[in-house]
Amino acid sequence: MIKIEHLNKIFNENRSNAYVALKDINLHIKPAQTVVIKGVSGSGKSTLLSIIATLIKPSSGSLMVDEQMIAKLPDTHASHFRNVHIGFIFQAFNLFDELSVKDNVAMPLIVSENRQERIDKKVLEAMELANITHKKDQSVHNLSGGEKQRCAIARALVHNPHIILCDEPTANLDRENSLKFIEILKSFKALGKTVVIATHDPLFDNLESVDRTILIEDGKIR
């Protein structure tokens, strides 16, 4: 479960250029739910996802993920929590272009696995789920946008996290590949993952695989 109560985020706090990104956010997401957070650019949805992922810290309020209070975890503990519990699919993919697909997918396992055979097995399983095995030895810079997205999905799945967070996952995809990503959402649900998607893409409106849609405007949930 993800439980957020009275959460606020202010950038450049106590400065003349302070910016309030999130205002009194209250949100409960049940295990295995697929939730879409809708909002225009600058509405706060990506900031909210980054806080859930422990990439940034809130200014105030509480955040509980998988029964752990994580809002103020020190960076080293936050990194460990993220590596165990969270898979993050970034808008810009955040892949290493000079590395192969399989090496990119293996990245989250470097600190948690020390047996190469176990790493290879998990990487292969993740690539199969994301339908990118046929490109495993290619450098990422040679991939199409849709293939990079599938590589990013495999990387997010490789350590078998409970939660998958997707920040504008179709922003850099054409319509065909966007629809393919939406199909992959069904496999996330079948695996029992909790999925949170931040997007303004109308393709996510009224999807059968989505349990809830939440609107965020000017840093507030409407």
For residue 95, the enclosing domain spans 2-221
Residue type for position 57: K
Question: How far is residue 149's CA from residue 152's CA, in Å, rounded to a whole number?
Answer: 5
DSSP count for the chain of H helices, then E strands: 6, 10
Query: CA of 172: how far to CAs of 49, 51, 144, in Å?
Result: 18, 23, 11
Give the angle 161-213-33 at the CA atoms, nearest 5°. Answer: 30
Q: How much is the pLDDT for 72? A: 85
pLDDT score recorded for residue 56: 94
Residues 6 or more apart from 137 whose CB is under 8 A from it?
100, 101, 102
Tally of domains within the chain: 1
Spatial CB neighbours of 75, under 8 Å, sequence gap ≥ 6: none
pLDDT along the chain (222 residues), means of 10: 96 89 96 95 94 95 91 89 92 93 93 83 94 96 94 94 94 91 89 95 92 96 92
Which pLDDT does position 21 carry in this prediction?
96
Q: Kindly report the CATH number assigned to the domain that includes residue 181.
A: 3.40.50.300
User: What is the DSSP-derived secondary structure letter of residue 99?
Assistant: S
In tens, the pLDDT along 142-180 reads 999 999 999 999 999 999 999 999 999 999 899 999 999
pLDDT value of position 110: 82
Closest CA to 37 of 45, 26, 47, 25: 45
